[in-house]
Amino acid sequence: MIIAIPKETHSGETRIPMMPESVEKLIKKGAEVSFESGLGTAIGINDEEYLRAGAKAVSDRASLLKSGDIIVQINRPSKEDIALFKRSAVHISNLNPFFEKDTVAALAQAGVKAISMTMMPRTTIAQKMDTLSSQANLGGYVAVVLAAERLNKIFPMMMTPSGTIPPARVFVIGVGVAGLQAIATAKRLGARVEAFDTRPVVEEQVKSLGAKFVKIDLGETGQTAQGYAKELTKEQLDKQRDMMAKHCALADVVITTARLFGRKAPLIVTEQIVKSMKKGSVIVDMAVADGGNVAGSKLDKEVDADGVLIIGLDNLPGHVAVDSSRMYSSNICNFISHFWDDKEKKLAVKLEDEIMQGCLLTQDGKICNTKIQ
Ligand code: NAD
């Protein structure tokens, strides 16, 4: 079984889908691995390291894609790439099936077994394969570091003979994986941190990181069985915005990470709230690719909203591409290993396994995932 690893072609993508150490593990299991020449160059890994791990270099991308029984990418495949995949090849990527419907349809039509790592069940056994978590964790770190660099103040409190500098105030909205890491990073840098999430269970986690949890009584909110937030009613969202306004106005940095599985992200920081914020303050909208939590945020742009900087960069993990590639690669290697049939030396698409049930989008020319049908 050939595992093919092409270079990412998405503009601005710096990460790579598989590192030499994962390649070596999969070859030990009996897989053959081919990679597009120059795969790791952008992060300082040369072809020799992949060759030493036992992989084969292919310079012609089309031949590589045509040969793959399993094709591993990070971003959704292009129409041109899909046209080259073998029928019944397994394609593994982070494509978001809710926002990439055309790609899912094209993969189904091509007879490909498309696996989306973003559909990974949030269970203990699946944690080591969870690319959403591994990338969101690093994204949360980058969001804070980026905001600290753009802010014209320092994060920690400083008492010096020249005067006392108060700590920067950071407000984190949405405390899932990215939000928790944003809180931890901002605390490490010495900021005064407040946070809010609609899921009340988060309060303890926020406090354990030394931050303050902002309490807002929105009535019944709760979470789904998978641990995701439920969508708020219009009245609840209006109330949330009202209550959030004063915290945003006081903040030097606002990091928003609020997302809803399979739906557009809620707009929380309205134009009015942005206007009420101090000049020089910084907002990082980590939900920008899902529609955005902040009025005026633009995908892959930094917008100056009358003195307030709104950062809407999508690929934050790509700023730390060495670590994010290592984590993504390890998640994929764990996924393939979990489904690897050691006797047959191939990946078994076991539909009785809840991980495969969750992640498999298409099979036999059809969309087979009930969550997206
Ligand atoms: P996510 O990216 O879907 O959303 C980010 C956060 O935004 C969530 O905490 C959500 O509650 C919050 N949010 C949604 N609407 C909001 C609003 N209007 N205002 C404020 N916040 C809002 O979430 P995620 O990071 O993927 O994590 C979702 C859950 O899954 C968490 O409970 C997390 O701990 C859990 N999780 C479990 C596992 C596992 O057990 N394997 C792995 C990863 C995450």
Tens-place pLDDT, residues 147-180: 999 999 999 999 999 999 999 999 999 999 999 9
State how beta strands 340-341 and 308-311 pair: unpaired
pLDDT at site 307: 98
Query: What are the helix (H) ranges across the chain?
Result: 20-28, 47-52, 61-67, 79-82, 101-109, 131-150, 177-188, 202-208, 234-250, 271-276, 321-338, 354-359
Going by C-alpha positions, the residue among 248, 243, 240, 249 that lies closest to residue 221 is 240
Q: Percent of the chain, pLDDT > 70?
A: 100
Residue 288 lies in a domain: yes
Going by C-alpha positions, the residue among 372, 366, 368, 362 that lies closest to residue 77 is 362
pLDDT at site 197: 94
Q: Percent of the chain, pLDDT > 90?
A: 93
Checking if the pLDDT of 86 tops 80, the result is yes
Question: For a pocket test of ligand 1, which of 234, 242, 259 has the largest count of ligand atoms closer than 8 A to its C-beta?
Answer: 259
Checking if the pLDDT of 373 tops 80, the result is no
Q: Give, using CA atoms, the residue closest to atom 4 of ligand 1.
A: 259
Q: What is the mean pLDDT of residues 292-316?
A: 97
- Looking at the CA of residue 132, tell me the nearest atom of ligand 1: 26
In this structure, what CATH number is given to the domain that contains residue 12? Answer: 3.40.50.720
Q: What distance in Å separates the CA atoms of residue 185 and residue 154, rounded to the nearest whole number? A: 14
Considering the domain architecture, whether residues 274 and 145 belong to the same structural domain is answered as yes
Q: What is the mean pLDDT of residues 349-357?
A: 96
Residue 180 lies in a domain: yes
Q: What distance in Å separates the CA atoms of residue 109 and residue 373, rounded to the nearest whole number? A: 15
How many residues does the structure list for the chain? 373
The residue type of 323 is: D
- Looking at the CA of residue 265, tell me the nearest atom of ligand 1: 15
Q: What is the mean pLDDT of residues 75-96?
A: 97
Considering the domain architecture, whether residues 109 and 145 belong to the same structural domain is answered as no
Considering the domain architecture, whether residues 54 and 92 belong to the same structural domain is answered as yes
Considering the domain architecture, whether residues 164 and 305 belong to the same structural domain is answered as yes
Checking if the pLDDT of 256 tops 80, the result is yes
Tens-place pLDDT, residues 233-254: 999 999 999 999 999 999 999 9
Mean pLDDT for all residues in the chain: 96
Query: What are the helix (H) ranges across 35-111?
Result: 47-52, 61-67, 79-82, 101-109
Domains contained in the chain, number: 2
Handedness of CA 13, 180, 263, 119 (dihedral sign): positive
Considering the domain architecture, whether residues 160 and 286 belong to the same structural domain is answered as yes
Checking if the pLDDT of 350 tops 80, the result is yes
Residue 149 lies in a domain: yes
Tens-place pLDDT, residues 28-57: 999 999 999 999 999 999 999 999 999 999
**Number of separate helices (H) and strands (E) present in the chain:** 12, 19
SS3 5: strand
Considering the domain architecture, whether residues 181 and 257 belong to the same structural domain is answered as yes
Residue 362 lies in a domain: yes
Considering the domain architecture, whether residues 31 and 144 belong to the same structural domain is answered as no
Q: What distance in Å separates the CA atoms of residue 15 and residue 184, rounded to the nearest whole number? A: 24
Considering the domain architecture, whether residues 71 and 102 belong to the same structural domain is answered as yes
Residue 281 lies in a domain: yes
Residue 99 lies in a domain: yes
Question: For a pocket test of ligand 1, which of 171, 233, 257 has the largest count of ligand atoms closer than 8 A to its C-beta?
Answer: 257
Q: What distance in Å separates the CA atoms of residue 255 and residue 259, rounded to the nearest whole number? A: 13
Considering the domain architecture, whether residues 240 and 164 belong to the same structural domain is answered as yes
Q: Is the CB of 229 under 6 A from ligand 1?
A: yes
pLDDT at site 227: 79
Checking if the pLDDT of 70 tops 80, the result is yes
Our CA dihedral for 220, 222, 224, 228, rounded to 10 degrees, sits at: 130
Place of tokens 């099936």: 97
SS3 129: helix
Considering the domain architecture, whether residues 66 and 17 belong to the same structural domain is answered as yes
Considering the domain architecture, whether residues 98 and 182 belong to the same structural domain is answered as no
Q: What is the mean pLDDT of residues 214-243?
A: 88
Q: What distance in Å separates the CA atoms of residue 142 and residue 315, rounded to the nearest whole number? A: 10
Residue 127 lies in a domain: no
More confident residue, 231 or 66: 66
Q: Give, using CA atoms, the residue closest to atom 15 of ligand 1.
A: 258
Q: Is the CB of 232 under 6 A from ligand 1?
A: yes
Integer distance in angstroms from the first to the last C-alpha of the chain?
A: 30
Q: What is the mean pLDDT of residues 255-280?
A: 96
Structural domain of residue 360, as residue ranges? 2-119+339-367
Considering the domain architecture, whether residues 171 and 69 belong to the same structural domain is answered as no
Find the range with the poorest average confidence among 58-72, 83-97, 107-121, 210-224.
Answer: 210-224
Residue 302 lies in a domain: yes
CA 173–ligand 1 middle distance (angstroms): 11
Q: Is 133 a catalytic residue?
A: yes
The model's pTM: 0.95
